[in-house]
Amino acid sequence: MGRHDTYQKLIFFCLSILLLHNILKNVEGLACNWGTQASHPLPPNIVVKLLRDNGFNKVKLFEADPGALRALGKSGIQVMVGIPNDLLATMASTVTNAELWVQQNVSQYISRYGTDIRYVAVGNEPFLKTYKDRFVRATYPALQNVQAALVKAGLGRQVKVTVPLNADVYESGDGLPSSGDFRSDIKTLMVSIVRFLADSVSPITFNIYPFLSLNADPNFPREYAFFPNGGGGGGGAKPVVDGSISYTNVFDANFDTLVSALEKNGFDPNKIEIIVGEVGWPTDGDQNANPAMAQRFNQGLLNRILQGQGTPRRRTAPEVYLFSLVDEDAKSIDPGKFERHWGIFSYDGAVKYPLSLGNGRPLVPAKGVRYLAREWCVLSTQGAGNGGWQASATYACQNADCTSLGPGSSCAALDPTANASYAFNMYFQKMDHRRGSCDFNNLGVLTKIDPSSGSCRFPIEIDTSRQQMSKPPPRNSGASEAKCRLAAAAAMVIGLVFSY
């Protein structure tokens, strides 16, 4: 063999390794939602480290949280930053308002901190039916003004606009994906928005929640909510036959209903970037929300993402943002306690259940978390015997997170007095162990013995005393209360042409 042949083979080998590296790098990139509605949020620098340690290279924020945007600077993580619905009217009123928002929340973080902002999400599910058209008029002009502001700032090619929408903006008359079309009351508006995004080479974004379909309808076939060949098995659902296509899960049927809606209105779905902005499964607060079901759904979802798998009507895989990274104990619980338990990590970054992130990589927990003192507040033995603790427990739950109590939840096995202890401790933790926060009319007592039992965890809260707290007022994010009321409409996407 000549030296020239050897040199050529060496070059070929190096190029092959480089190509393989790029393929693996692209395949293994993961995206998720980072919500910040927590009474004791993880420090942003710890969250960014958590993202990087677990291979997430894209993240979606529901608002322009300063701490998060600073921490994401020079992290190698691409960012989608959101404009809340209550700012849509302001953005729509004048382009000057949009320019100011872009300067304050996009330009300065890119130039000053090196934050890799790629998308601005204008609103969050603004066309939900329960909003009663509140945001219908403002959304499109707000989208146009934000796009114009990005262009004026010299960011028109680097940063794209989008509007995260709930799956109820499209529907199917007979329940089959091939009959999909945009909702009649907003069809003209949807066509205009999609055309605008396509013309500006920006993505369209939709949120899909199989959990809500299952949870809203007692007759919904359970197996249809999960992916075939996902974690923990699957493939037991009776297929929904639509012409030559057999659908075995609601995610594919839902997504392909969107594909049909696009086609019916003159768009080529293969030439439009489609993002699934939210999809996931909660772990507590409901009989269908537990770690086992969440592990099964999310592992199946991750397998699809890692394999670059599309749907029957659109082979190109969409970009998918997992909902969500960590639990948020300050979210609204109307209409479901599960709203606070969508994270694949607990409030403190602890791993809830095993997930394989590709190549056998497991989830890695957050590092460097500081906790309050190892101390719990519980109902005293004397207090339990004397009675009268019910009112105190009710008060505690009105002012702290008790969504792990009740039927179907992780603490469902507790007896009434243990429920009171749980409530006392959640209030005590939320109040940062302040003096008097374990009094409850002399019914509470401090203990250094962990009262956790079985699946019921009595948490110790994160110590946020050293954090720089610059959070804006809480706003709805992720699986909102309105979305949950629309779960039955989400189930419609597959029609539900079942013969069960």
Residues involved in catalysis: 125, 278
In sign, the C-alpha dihedral spanning 82, 100, 128, 201 is negative
Tokens 């507590």 belong to which residue? Answer: 284
Assess contact for 417 and 392: CB atoms under 8 A: no
The two tokens of residue 41 are: 């949020």
Distance CA 38, CA 352 (A): 17
Given a contact cutoff of 8 angstroms between Cβ atoms, the answer to whether 194 and 272 are in contact is yes
Indicate the pairing of strand 240-242 with strand 245-247: antiparallel
Helix (H) or strand (E) holding 447: strand 444-447
Q: Are 319 and 33 in contact (CB under 8 A)?
A: no
CB 180 within 8 A of CB 264: yes
Crossing angle (nearest 10°) for helices 187-199 and 136-152: 10
Give start and end residues of each alpha helix (H) in 217-312: 250-264, 291-307
Q: What is the DSSP string of 179-240?
A: GEEE-GGGHHHHHHHHHHHHHTT--EEEE--HHHHHHH-TTS-GGGGS-TTBTTB---SPPE
Dist CA 346 CA 282 (whole Å): 11
Q: Which amino acid is at 134?
A: R
Burial class (CB in 10 A: 0-12, 13-18, 19+), 458: buried
Question: 83: which residues sit within 8 A by CB, 6+ positions away?
Answer: 63, 64, 91, 101, 120, 121, 122, 123, 142, 146
For residues 67 and 62, what is the distance between their CA atoms, to the nearest angstrom? Answer: 13
Structure tokens at 412: 């469902």
Q: Which of 88, 61, 87 is nearest to 75 (CA)?
A: 61
